[in-house]
């Protein structure tokens, strides 16, 4: 099932190291079939506060996303970003094409009983 690396970047210091990170990240994604879905740019905040930029990278599955993050190639460049920005990063699993909002509750309810979380 598709998975996503999602990052919220703040306080990015645009410097030679960030430029190098941007120049090199695509090569780290290619072996893992990773592709950018969102890469900074304008956002229309409609609830709450979303300081900084949003980055979202799609991978074939969660295992592949984690393998990319932990790969030697990505670990070689990660400090270029972390030393020059503040980031929150997560790997999130996608849902099937036919997913409905109630699916999450059915997975949490013990025996399907509303109000009771397993």
> Which helix (DSSP H) or strand (DSSP E) does residue 59 occupy?
strand 53-59
Determine how many CB atoms are found less than 10 A away from the CB of residue 72: 7
* pLDDT for the residue numbered 1: 93
* pLDDT for the residue numbered 105: 82
Per-residue pLDDT of the chain (118 residues), as tens digits, is 999 999 999 999 999 999 999 999 999 999 999 999 999 988 999 999 989 999 999 999 999 999 999 999 999 999 999 999 999 999 999 998 998 888 888 777 755 555 555 4
Pick the CATH number of 3-112 from 1.10.579.10, 3.30.70.100, 3.20.20.70, 3.40.1400.10: 3.30.70.100
* pLDDT for the residue numbered 50: 87
């Amino acid at each position: 099932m598709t998975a996503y690396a999602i990052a919220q970047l703040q306080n990015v210091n645009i410097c030679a190291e960030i430029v190098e990170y941007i120049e090199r990240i695509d090569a780290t994604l290619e072996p893992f079939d990773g592709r950018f879905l969102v890469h900074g740019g304008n956002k229309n905040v409609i609830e709450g506060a979303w300081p900084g930029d949003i980055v979202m990278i799609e991978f074939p599955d969660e295992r592949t996303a984690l393998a990319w993050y932990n790969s030697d190639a990505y670990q070689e460049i990660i400090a270029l970003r972390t030393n020059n920005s503040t980031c929150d990063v997560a790997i999130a699993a996608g849902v099937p094409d036919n997913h409905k909002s109630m699916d999450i509750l059915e997975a949490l309810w013990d025996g399907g009983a509303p109000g009771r979380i397993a």
